[in-house]
Amino acid sequence: MTVPLLVRLYVPEEVGTPMSIKAISPLDAAFLLIESDDMPWHAALLMLFTLPDDATASFVPELVDRMRGPHKPVSPFNLAPAYAKLPQLPFVREVDTIDVDHHVVVHCLPQPGGEDELNSVIGELHSRRLDPSRPLWELHLIEGLADNRFAAFIKIHHSLADGVTGMRRLLQWLTPNPAADPCSPLFTVGPTGRVDTPVTPRRGLRAARKQLAARATAGHELSRTIYEMMRRTYAGQALTVPYRTPKTVWHGRIDSDRSIAYTQFDLSRLKALADATDTKFSDIAFYTCGSALRTYLAEHADVPSTPLTAGVPMSTRDENDNRPGSAFGFITVDLATNIADPIERLQTIARSNATATEQLSHLSEPGLVLQPVLANGPMIAALALRFGKRTPAAFGLVMSNIPGPKVQLYLDGARLDALVPVSVPMHNSPVNMTCIGHGDKITFGIAVATRKVPDVGHIAAGLEKAIVDLERQVAARKAA
């Protein structure tokens, strides 16, 4: 029986075809569609480990050796574009085996094995597009770090996993027990909870009809939401909308070169500021990133008179949702980079964040599936059509906050010391800033297109300055 095109296009569930082809969601399809050599669309995570006291020089090679063998990959590590020569099509195929030597690679860091050497290697690895003829992920293990450490760098295409899914799979791979048996290979760690289920073509048709009806309802919801956005915007309320961010020194088309930097804070330090200013933790995170960008732009004499905005993905997954692909709504937050006073800047950000989040809360699940695609439609279309410099800027940068592990974790006895998010720079938005909590720490990871932002370390230094400035203002107000 031939599966109707409608089902194959719009049902993100397995369809019973000989090739085990699966359709993907509109959002995941957009990620495949807009990808190019200059703008790879994988997200990544850098993990820093301290070796066990009794570890030998063969620790990392033995870790890789255990990944070789008759291991069957599981979703999403078994998913590749259905048609390697046309990876933009909205289909993926399942594979039963993988080439471990392609997907798992060992590197030796140049001496002295410090942060500069590591960041240089990570920037190079992050610049390379994933091979569309294979499942869209790679695991790089990096030896030679100073202080008896090694690193793991995981790349996975955004059409296969978002930050929340990736983090949940990581938590399943690692263990809180340093003396536990060796961990299973990452690509064999299966999802739990809600996953895609196989369907017959007939059941697929029923699912397609239900989804089309749901998306018709979603379209009505979204039209009301767009109307409400316009009403609030023109009424002068605090709703920030896309495509109103100013141009800066980094505006324009990027190439594939990437650089990274990161800064770690005590979580309690940021929470204390949130309590002292009667704001949320996410407000403090947005303030910190926005203020660092304001400092950076001031160094280049390019602080715009209107505020930079951030595009912010907001996860829509519940705790049992481990389906492959991405699932998030999208809001735009005013970073108030045109405001000099730190507390006033934070208050403006908090109002914008609250209004945007409240607006998103009115959408049902089908509406949330379509909302990121429609909200960023002009930008997605321009990127897909390779319009280059004519691509509209929906926001100044992308920022996100991913929940991380609250307990200490280990990989075959090696202690996990830091999680550094490394995400996707874009044309006109060549800076991506993401934060991840880990125990009592939070790490801000910055990924940039190097030729547009050649001094990413200055942005990282601005994060600390932003926190210090706010702490001083809070202390001064208490003392007054």
List the CATH code of the domain at 5-188.
Answer: 3.30.559.10
Q: Which fold has domain 225-403+424-479?
A: Chloramphenicol Acetyltransferase (3.30.559)
Contact 339, 384 (CB under 8 A): no
Mutual angle of helices 365-375 and 201-234, in 10-degree steps:
60
With a CB cutoff of 8 Å and minimum separation 6, the contacts of 209 are none
Can you tell me the distance from the alpha carbon of 140 to that of 474, in angstroms, rounded to the nearest whole number?
43
Contact 459, 424 (CB under 8 A): no
Domains 5-188 and 225-403+424-479 are alike in CATH topology: yes
Can you tell me the distance from the alpha carbon of 362 to that of 61, in angstroms, rounded to the nearest whole number?
51
pLDDT per residue rounded down to tens, the chain (480 residues): 333 333 333 333 333 333 578 888 888 888 898 899 999 999 999 999 999 999 999 999 999 999 987 889 999 999 999 988 888 888 899 999 999 999 999 999 998 999 999 999 999 999 999 999 999 999 999 999 999 999 999 999 999 988 788 888 888 899 999 999 999 999 998 765 444 443 334 443 444 444 444 444 444 444 455 444 444 444 445 578 888 899 999 989 999 999 999 999 999 999 999 999 999 999 999 999 999 999 999 999 999 999 999 999 877 676 666 677 766 678 899 999 999 999 999 999 999 999 988 887 776 666 666 666 666 667 777 777 776 556 678 899 999 999 899 999 999 999 999 999 999 999 999 999 999 999 999 999 999 999 999 999 999 999 999 999 999 999 999 887
For the chain, the domains span 5-188, 225-403+424-479
pTM comes to: 0.85
